[in-house]
């Protein structure tokens, strides 16, 4: 356990103490104590920056289950450090924001911070784990803590619905991912991601390669809300706004991005990876940005915009895989895509975090998030307005903010695809920049909606629950810091180039970088009149036009039938699954013991019959058979006659008497086959049980005491005959194939010599194998006690004992 | 000689048994069946005795006595059941 491990576990340890802090220091907002931790962690992890800038990495291993090869291996390289800084940095800002957002008295703060710390620790574990099993463990921790955080206001119906939905979808993906990890570890015979990446070329030719890739991608796509799994994210907006800002914009949804980036060195050489990741990402971007425009809830818009931006990053990671197919680094244009992905990842975390916080402020100060009720807040909330302008303009991709730069690089990567002559891209290549461009136009429109529908236009105080005013300073600090970062990264992008972006990009595509060299990351603000600039100008022009004439064309959303949405599909799917399994269960769990006996016996016949047939196990060998005497035959006829009488009897009494006759005949068989002890016992037991049957017969209730013949049912007859035939066949086969001699010689020799008895049956019962007898006695005692208890101990409906009736 | 006689008597007893079973199956009333069962018990005693002579063993003498007792008890129990509807009555003092 090194400092690194303690840093990962620190949030979990802190979470244990949060309830005590809440109780013992009730006058101080619990958040202040919690705030210390992410700040300290951020400071600790900043110290690793010089290490990763040199493209080196740190590995610390702590044994967990060494015998299975599962160790808690923490691995810091450029990619994980980037994520760690995002998690702790934005974590600190979110905690600070939540101190002012959540009321000290009305909310159960200890729950909130326990869940949040659990999530933070889990997220650190995800991005720092080198072992896939530990990675999976932390991955599920993020799902669980996210579930808890979404349902923080658990008395609301929508919160619980959203929490369950996100749980079902992300856990489904998590389990698929576990499958992928296991397949990978079978292929590579190791759990370590680095060691797997080292043998990537061999894994590429493995027959299980595609299966592993699809399973891992399912995990990544569900977590990162890609098409068609994005549906949980808009419903997760029922969580408190700090949670939405932290989990559902900056960290958890990027876990899938992290996974794709982390496994790029293993999978990315394959053409499937390029197509699946690139196409799904791009389509998600287009689809979600298109849908974001029709939302009326501010958080709904932001949720869809998050999905869309994640799709953008995902598509860049997919397209960046093309860079692996080039030999030299100098003319490798596709590394731009990887760099753009990393850059946009940072940018998105900053501007989306601040936008969520801005929406939280608007909600907090006006009482609503509905854009139809908001308007004209510009003069009332000037600071919030400024922050939202910075965030939204950056999201739209306008200069001078950082979104502009990454959007330009996004366009550039998509245009460059047209030059690619791999994976049959040629015919479809033109679609990539077109889809990217259309998606960006919609992004521009919804970004403008966030700013102008809320802050300009007519002020409608009568529709608001509170009198709006500027937020307190504390609430504004966190979004301000993020907004400043948005502007700073926009104006001086090269602050990030070699400190964060280059090491992270190098970790995504390590195989193309020769030792001792660096990727050339120079993000220039102005690079002449290139095609991507014209595309941006086009986005702005068309976007402004479409925004101006929005009422004219938003009617097209009505053409989308409500019945074929993915949400509808999810809901009816759940409903159908529940109803279907109910129907199936009700169909065979009839509640009648008769049906269950039919299943049991039918299975008995099928299984044993199949075994006899498949193994050709039937034998008939009469050589060991004894001669049959006349009296055996006549006894058999007696037995048969009595048995048939039981089946065909009209009255129960006849059946009971016939059963007694069967029992006596069996005892006569014992006599013939020379078993006097068995015959004695059988006679007594038969008499007693016949008497007991008579007792039961007498106590049958009057109403249903019909003396009628049993109804004949063909199914029952077939099953009964089947069981009889199968058992007979098995008996004959078993008797015909004796494999070794009996051990009875030993007993015959030693009954008198060693045990001092002459009755061999009794000596076996109490001496050679007395243990069985002991427990037979126990069985009889239990039966007697049970009967006594059943008769005497009667619990009435009220629960009182009635012992002396 | 004696063996042949024993064999013949066994067959005769078995035939008697089949006749009793016929009565047991056919009825027509319950007492008919009970009497048939009782007679079967006595028949069993004879068969067991003949068998133990055939097998040349004295191990079945207990069985013979037991069948005698049980056949009696069983018949009495059935008779009481048919008469009163129950086998063991509750104590009247309670």
pLDDT tens per residue across span A40-92: 999 999 988 888 888 788 888 888 888 888 888 899 988 999 999 999 999 99
Q: What is the pLDDT, as a whole number, of residue A568? A: 85
Q: What is the pLDDT, as a whole number, of residue A605? A: 93
Name the residue of chain B whose CA is nearest to A683's CA.
B67
Q: What is the pLDDT, as a whole number, of residue A796? A: 64
- For residue A679, the distance in angstroms to the closest alpha carbon of chain B comes to 7
Kindly report the CA angle at A624 between A622 and A626, in degrees rounded to 5? 90
Residue A194, both tokens: 């680095």
Of B21, B67, B86, the CB nearest to A683: B67
Q: Is the pLDDT confidence value at A434 over 50?
A: yes
Q: Is the pLDDT confidence value at B66 over 90?
A: no
Name the residue of chain B whose CA is nearest to A681's CA.
B63
Average pLDDT rounded to a whole number, residues A573-585: 93
Give the range among A128-142, A273-287, A304-318, A610-624 with minimum mean pLDDT.
Answer: A610-624
- For residue A595, the distance in angstroms to the closest alpha carbon of chain B comes to 31
- Using an 8 Å CB-CB cutoff, list chain B residues near A668: 44, 47-48
Q: 3-class DSSP state for residue A59? A: strand
Q: 3-class DSSP state for residue A65? A: strand
Q: Which has the higher per-residue pLDDT, B23 or A773? A: A773
Of A638, A644, A676, the CB nearest to B63: A676
Cβ–Cβ gap B87/A672 under 8 Å: no
Mean pLDDT, chain A, whole residue set: 85
Instruction: Tell me how far the alpha carbon of residue A346 is from its chain's centroid.
Output: 27
Asked if the C-beta of A659 comes within 8 angstroms of chain B's C-beta atoms, the answer is no
Q: 3-class DSSP state for residue A406? A: helix
- For residue A714, the distance in angstroms to the closest alpha carbon of chain B comes to 24
Cβ–Cβ gap A672/B51 under 8 Å: yes
- Using an 8 Å CB-CB cutoff, list chain A residues near B15: 634
Query: What confidence tens digit (pLDDT) does each residue in A85-114 have?
Result: 999 999 999 999 999 888 888 888 888 999
Query: Please, how many CA atoms are within 13 Å of residue A164, restricted to the half-sphere of its CB?
Result: 10
Asked if the C-beta of B39 comes within 8 angstroms of chain A's C-beta atoms, the answer is no
Distance of alpha carbon A468 from alpha carbon A354, whole angstroms:
20
Average pLDDT rounded to a whole number, residues A371-379: 81
- pLDDT-derived band at B52, boundaries 50, 70, 90: confident
Average pLDDT rounded to a whole number, residues A450-471: 77
Distance of alpha carbon A707 from alpha carbon A649, whole angstroms:
10
State the DSSP code for A64: E
Average pLDDT rounded to a whole number, residues A454-458: 81
- Residue A194: what are its φ and ψ, rounded to 5°? -65, -45
- pLDDT-derived band at A324, boundaries 50, 70, 90: confident
Q: 3-class DSSP state for residue A234? A: helix
Asked if the C-beta of B30 comes within 8 angstroms of chain A's C-beta atoms, the answer is yes
Note the CATH architecture for domain A593-744: Up-down Bundle (1.20)
Q: What is the pLDDT, as a whole number, of residue A546? A: 87
CA Rg, chain B, in Å?
17
Asked if the C-beta of B3 comes within 8 angstroms of chain A's C-beta atoms, the answer is no
Domain ranges of chain A: 270-548, 551-589, 593-744, 745-805
Distance of alpha carbon A89 from alpha carbon A746, whole angstroms:
82
Average pLDDT rounded to a whole number, residues A454-468: 76
Cβ–Cβ gap B47/A668 under 8 Å: yes
Q: What is the pLDDT, as a whole number, of residue A805? A: 43
- For residue A665, the distance in angstroms to the closest alpha carbon of chain B comes to 9
**Which one of A632, A658, A678, A679 makes the best mutation probe of the B interface by having the most chain B beta carbons within 10 Å?**
A679
Average pLDDT rounded to a whole number, residues A213-230: 90
Residue A706, both tokens: 């019909």
Q: What is the pLDDT, as a whole number, of residue A161? A: 92
Distance of alpha carbon A30 from alpha carbon B1, whole angstroms:
109
Name the residue of chain B whose CA is nearest to A688's CA.
B74
Average pLDDT rounded to a whole number, residues A614-628: 82
- Using an 8 Å CB-CB cutoff, list chain A residues near B60: 671, 676, 679
- For residue B92, the distance in angstroms to the closest alpha carbon of chain A comes to 15
Q: Is the pLDDT confidence value at B11 over 80?
A: yes
- pLDDT-derived band at A123, boundaries 50, 70, 90: very high
Q: Which of residues 9-28 of B touch A (CB under 8 A)?
A: 10-11, 14-15, 17-18, 21-22, 24-25, 27
Cβ–Cβ gap A664/B24 under 8 Å: no
Q: Is the pLDDT confidence value at A358 over 60?
A: yes
Please, are residues A773 and A765 in contact by the beta-carbon 8 Å criterion? yes
Q: Which has the higher per-residue pLDDT, A375 or A284? A: A284
Q: Which of A89, A69, A73, A71 is nearest to A81 (CA)?
A: A89
Q: What is the pLDDT, as a whole number, of residue A140? A: 93
**CA atoms A692, A693, A698, A702: torsion sign:** positive
Asked if the C-beta of A673 comes within 8 angstroms of chain B's C-beta atoms, the answer is no
Cβ–Cβ gap A684/B18 under 8 Å: no
Q: Is the pLDDT confidence value at A556 over 70?
A: yes
- Using an 8 Å CB-CB cutoff, list chain A residues near B51: 671-672
Cβ–Cβ gap A645/B78 under 8 Å: no
- Using an 8 Å CB-CB cutoff, list chain A residues near B44: 664, 667-668
């Amino acid at each position: 356990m090194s400092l690194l491990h303690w840093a990962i576990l620190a949030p979990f340890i802190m979470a244990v103490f949060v309830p005590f802090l809440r109780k013992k220091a009730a006058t101080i907002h619990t958040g202040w104590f919690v705030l210390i931790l992410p700040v300290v962690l951020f400071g600790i992890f900043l110290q690793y920056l010089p290490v990763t800038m040199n493209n080196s990495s740190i590995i610390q291993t702590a044994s967990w289950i060494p015998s299975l090869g599962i160790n808690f291996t923490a691995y810091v390289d450029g990619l994980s450090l980037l994520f760690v800084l995002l998690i702790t940095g934005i974590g600190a800002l979110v905690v600070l924001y939540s101190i002012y957002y959540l009321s000290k008295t009305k909310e159960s703060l200890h729950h909130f911070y326990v869940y949040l710390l659990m999530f933070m620790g889990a997220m650190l574990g995800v991005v720092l784990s080198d072992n896939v099993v530990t990675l999976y463990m932390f991955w599920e921790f993020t799902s669980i803590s996210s579930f808890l955080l979404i349902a923080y206001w658990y008395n609301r119906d929508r919160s619980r619905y959203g929490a369950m939905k996100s749980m079902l979808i992300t856990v489904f993906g998590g389990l698929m991912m576990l499958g992928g990890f296991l397949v990978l570890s079978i292929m590579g015979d190791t759990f370590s991601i680095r060691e797997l990446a080292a043998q990537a070329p061999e894994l590429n030719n493995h027959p299980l390669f595609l299966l592993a890739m699809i399973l891992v991608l399912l995990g990544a796509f569900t977590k990162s809300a890609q098409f068609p799994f994005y549906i949980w994210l808009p419903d997760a907006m029922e969580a408190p706004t700090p949670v939405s800002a932290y989990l559902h914009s900056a960290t958890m949804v990027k876990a899938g991005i992290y996974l794709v980036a982390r496994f790029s060195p293993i999978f990315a050489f394959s053409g499937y990876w390029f197509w699946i990741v690139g196409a799904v990402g791009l389509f998600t971007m287009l689809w979600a940005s298109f849908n974001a425009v029709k939302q009326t809830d501010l958080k709904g818009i932001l949720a869809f915009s998050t999905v869309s931006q994640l799709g953008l990053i995902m598509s860049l990671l997919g397209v960046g895989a093309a860079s692996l197919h080039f030999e030299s680094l100098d003319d490798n244009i596709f590394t731009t895509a990887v760099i753009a992905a990393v850059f946009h990842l940072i940018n998105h975390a900053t501007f989306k975090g601040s936008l969520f916080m801005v929406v939280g402020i608007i909600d907090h100060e006006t009482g609503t998030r509905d854009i139809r009720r908001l308007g004209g807040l510009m003069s009332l909330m000037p600071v919030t307005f400024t922050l939202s302008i910075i965030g939204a303009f950056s999201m739209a991709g306008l200069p001078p903010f950082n979104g502009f730069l990454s959007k330009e690089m996004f366009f550039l990567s998509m245009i460059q695809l047209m030059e690619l002559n791999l994976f049959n891209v040629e015919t479809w290549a033109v679609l990539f920049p077109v889809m990217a461009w259309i998606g960006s136009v919609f992004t521009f429109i919804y970004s403008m909606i966030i700013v102008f529908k809320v802050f300009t236009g007519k002020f409608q105080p009568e529709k608001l629950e509170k009198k709006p005013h500027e937020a307190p300073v504390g609430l504004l600090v966190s979004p301000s810091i993020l907004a400043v970062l948005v502007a700073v990264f926009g104006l001086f992008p090269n602050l990030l180039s070699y400190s964060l972006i280059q090491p992270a990009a190098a970790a995504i595509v390590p195989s193309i970088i020769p030792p001792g060299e660096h990727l050339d990351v120079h993000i220039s603000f102005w690079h002449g009149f290139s095609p991507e600039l014209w595309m941006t100008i086009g986005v702005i022009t068309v976007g402004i036009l479409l925004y101006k004439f929005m009422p004219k064309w938003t009617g097209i959303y009505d053409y989308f039938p409500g019945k074929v949405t993915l949400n509808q599909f999810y809901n009816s799917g759940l409903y159908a699954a529940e109803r279907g399994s109910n129907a199936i269960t009700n169909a065979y769990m009839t509640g009648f013991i008769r049906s269950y006996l039919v299943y049991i016996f039918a299975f008995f016949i099928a299984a044993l019959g199949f075994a006899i047939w498949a193994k050709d196990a039937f034998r008939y060998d009469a050589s060991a058979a004894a001669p049959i005497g006349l009296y055996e035959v006549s006894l058999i006829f007696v037995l048969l006659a009595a048995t048939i009488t039981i089946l065909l009897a009209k009255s129960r009494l006849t059946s009971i008497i016939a059963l007694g006759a069967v029992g006596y005949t069996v005892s006569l068989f014992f006599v013939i086959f020379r078993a006097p002890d068995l015959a004695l016992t059988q006679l007594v037991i038969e008499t007693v049980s016949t008497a007991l049957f008579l007792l039961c017969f007498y106590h049958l209730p009057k109403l249903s005491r019909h003396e009628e013949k049993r109804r004949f049912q063909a199914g029952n007859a077939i099953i009964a005959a089947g069981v009889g035939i199968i058992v007979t066949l098995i008996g004959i086969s078993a008797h015909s194939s004796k494999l070794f001699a009996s051990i009875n010689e030993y007993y015959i020799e030693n009954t008198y010599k060693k045990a001092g008895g002459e009755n061999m049956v009794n000596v076996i019962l109490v001496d050679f194998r007395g243990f069985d007898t002991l427990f037979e006695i126990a069985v009889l005692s239990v039966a007697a006690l049970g009967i006594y208890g059943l008769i005497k101990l009667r619990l009435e409906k009220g629960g009182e004992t009635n012992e002396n009736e | 000689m004696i063996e042949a006689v024993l064999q013949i008597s066994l067959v005769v007893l078995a035939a008697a048994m089949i006749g009793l079973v016929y009565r047991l199956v056919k009825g027509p009333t319950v007492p008919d069946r009970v009497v048939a069962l009782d007679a079967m018990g006595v028949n069993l005693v004879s068969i067991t005795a003949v068998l133990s002579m055939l097998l040349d063993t004295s191990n079945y003498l207990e069985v013979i006595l037991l069948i005698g007792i049980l056949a009696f008890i069983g018949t009495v129990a059935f008779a009481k059941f048919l008469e009163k509807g129950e086998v063991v009555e509750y104590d009247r003092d309670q």
